[in-house]
Homo-oligomer: A and B are copies of this chain.
C-alpha cells in the first residue's frame, strides 16, 4: 500500500489517464492510422512551442535530441559558444567536443542563468562563433534564463540559438518563432508527463540551412532524413510507437487546460515550494530572478545528510525526490512541479520532507511548510 509518487524532475509523474493509454495494444507505424497520430502530434507540438516550422520525433531520450542538434549544425573545427550553469550545460560542451567542433565555454556561476549581456560579450570576443548552445531549464540547479531577450538579440544575427528544453517544454513559456529560437530540443519524460523514450527537435529556417550545409557524421539522428520522412508524415526509423500515441493524448490534455494556465499554475506551485522551504528554515538554491517554474532545488544543511533524507523518503515512504548533481551532490533536494504534479502532490512532498527533517533533528514547527504552501495555492 506504499505510495509511489514521483516528484523527480524527470521522469516526472505519469497521470493515470496516460498510464491507461500506455497500457493499450499498439498499432503498426507505417499505417494511415499512425499517420493520423503523427499529424496530430506535430500540430500539437507546434502549437505548444509556438512554431510553424518543422518538428521531428526521435526514438531516444533527451540527450539524443541534443546530439541531433550538434551533429546536424556543427562541422568539425567550427567554433560555437556553449553556456554552462549546471550539469546539462556541460553536456552541450561535451557533445560539441565529441563532434570535433570547438566550444568556447561561457561559464556562469551556478545558481543563476546566463544574461543577454554575457552572450553579447562572448559573441563580441568570438565573432566567428556559429551558434550558441544553452539550457532553458537547467535541471541540476533549477534556473532559467530570459530566453525571449536572448533570442531577440540573436535573431538579428547569423548566429543560431540552440536550446536544451528537455525539462522546459510544457513548463517554461516559449514562442519559438517570435523569440528567435533556432533549435529546440526536448523529450517525453518531463513536462510531457510520460516515460522517457521520445526525443523532440524543432528547427527554424536558419537551422535548416545549417543542417543542409553540415558535413558532420550522422545517420540515426540525421535531421535531413527526418525532414524527408516528415513530408510523408513519417519518421525515418521505427518510432517509439506507444509513447508517441500517449504523447498525442498528453499534448491534448495540456492544450485543453491551456498551456498559459498550466504554466501559471506551475509558477504558483514553485512559489509554494519556495515559501514552504523558507518556512522550515531551508533556502532555495537558485537566485530569485532566475528561478525555474519547473522544479526547485532546496538547500539542505549538509549536517542533515540530504542524500540520506532522499533515500528514506523514497524507500520508506514511497515519495521520490532527486538529490543534487555535480557540485550540488549532497547539498540540495530537488522537487519537480511540472507536468501532472499538482498542489496536493506538493503538499505530500513537503509533508514527507518535514517528517524526515524532524527525524534528522532539524528544528522547525511541524506543518509550517504546509501552511505556507497552502497560503500561496489559495492566494
- Report which A residues bind B (CB closer than 8 A): 4, 6, 8, 10-11, 13-14, 19-20, 22-32, 59-64, 67, 70-71, 94-95, 98-100, 187, 189, 195-197, 216-222, 237-243, 314-315, 320, 322
Complex CA–CA separation, A8 to B29 (angstroms)? 10
Q: How far is the CA of A14 from the CA of B28 in the complex (A)?
A: 11
Q: A122 to chain B: closest CB distance in Å?
A: 23
- In the bound complex, CA of A6 to CA of B24 (Å): 13
- Shortest Cβ distance from A71 into chain B, in angstroms? 8
**A32 / chain B contacts, CB cutoff of 8 Å:** 315
Identify 20 new A-B residue pairs, CB closer than 8 A, beyond the known A19-B24, A95-B219, A217-B217: A4-B25, A8-B28, A10-B238, A11-B26, A11-B28, A13-B25, A23-B24, A27-B320, A29-B196, A30-B322, A31-B314, A60-B64, A61-B240, A63-B237, A189-B238, A189-B241, A195-B241, A196-B238, A216-B217, A220-B221
> Contact check: which of B29, B220, B242 meets A64 at CB < 8 Å?
B220
Residue of chain B at shortest CB distance from A94: B219
Helix, strand, loop or mixed for chain A's interface?
loop
Indicate if the CB atoms of B23 and A23 lie closer than 8 Å. yes
Residues of B within 8 A of A14 (CB): 25-26
Which one of A63, A219, A241 has the highest number of Cβ atoms from chain B below 10 Å of its Cβ? Answer: A219
In contact, A22 and B242 (Cβ under 8 angstroms): yes
Q: In the complex the two chains form, what is the Cα distance from A70 to B11 in whole Å?
A: 30
Residues on the B chain within 8 Å of A29, using CB? 11, 196
Chain B: minimal CB distance from A139 (Å) = 11
Cα distance A26–B219 in the bound complex, in angstroms = 31
Q: Does B63 contact A238, Cβ atoms closer than 8 Å? A: yes
B59 touching A320 by the CB < 8 A rule? no
* Complex CA distance for A301 and B11, rounded to whole angstroms: 50
In the complex, how many angstroms separate the beta carbon of A157 from the nearest chain B beta carbon?
27
Taken together as a complex, chains A and B put the C-alpha atoms of A27 and B187 apart, in Å, by 17
Instruction: Please give, as numbers and ranges, the residues of chain B lying within 8 Å of A67 by CB-CB distance.
Output: 219-220
Query: Are the C-beta atoms of A98 and B219 separated by less than 8 Å?
Result: yes
